[in-house]
Amino acid sequence: MPPDPASAASRPQVVAHRGASDERAEHTLGAYVAALDAGADALECDVRLTADGHLVCVHDRNVRRTASRRGLVSTMELAELAELDFASWKNPWADLDDEAPERDEEHHRVLTLRKLCEVAADYDRRIEVAIETKHPTRYSGLVEKRVVEVLRDFGWHRAGTPARVMSFSFTALQRIERLAPEVPRVMLMERAQYWPALRRVIGRDWLVGPGVEELADHPWLGPRITRAGHGMHVWTVNTREHLDLCLELGVRAVITDRPAFILEELGA
């Protein structure tokens, strides 16, 4: 059953980090379907550009960790990536489990941003998509240009869009602001000490994405971000303790590897 809109409005948005990546292989269709089945409000993905210009949902620049072979995403074409298995690393003994469900190959292959947006757009309730562009990359600003092209194809470049773009790169978010000014932007922040400098340069309407460990280790950080008028989307919230901290700070979204757990803790 879809979550009650009223209850969803009274709690932080639950964003599935690379899908339900605690239990499924990250960035695979299987991980995102599991997140939707759990009731996640939004899907988070990292995107990289292939050698032939496709945006794929892959975190690392090298596919060795998730596809068990060497190769840089930026030097590989989509067809080459599509031949790889991006899921078996998560459960290498699955073939020995006689009770395991029949394998769906589509759930194990590389996922494009376009496909992920199609899944979100076709779902029976509003699903938002948080897209992180990875930098540095050999393609520089072409990544943001391609992201905006995909968003325009879905009509998601206008006000009210279910999409937002996140990055640790201030320059990348400036590009998004120029190319699609109505798309929300989230300035991700890895270290608390970066906040004084970031506060002076980010847009007044930008969201801020600190890591939950930084919020816990630096109690001054969350209140200062809030006082500056910025909503917070916090990563990666996987425990009750960290969820409680986010609730105390009034964050707008919690990004989690465990959407089912977080939703259960929220009573959703």
**Active-site amino acid positions:** 17, 59
What ranges make up the beta strands (E) of the chain?
A: 13-17, 42-49, 55-57, 128-133, 163-167, 185-189, 207-210, 233-234, 253-256
Tell me the C-alpha to C-alpha distance, in Å, between residue 255 and each of 18, 30, 63, 224. 9, 18, 23, 20
CA-to-CA distance for 128 and 20, rounded, in angstroms?
15
Q: How many CA atoms lie within 13 A of 255 on its CB side?
A: 25
CA-to-CA distance for 237 and 228, rounded, in angstroms?
23
CB neighbour list of residue 140: distance below 8 Å, 6 or more residues apart? none
CB neighbour list of residue 260: distance below 8 Å, 6 or more residues apart? 20, 38, 39
Closest CA to 106 of 45, 31, 46, 22: 31
CA-to-CA distance for 90 and 210, rounded, in angstroms?
27
At residue 213, the 3 state secondary structure works out as helix
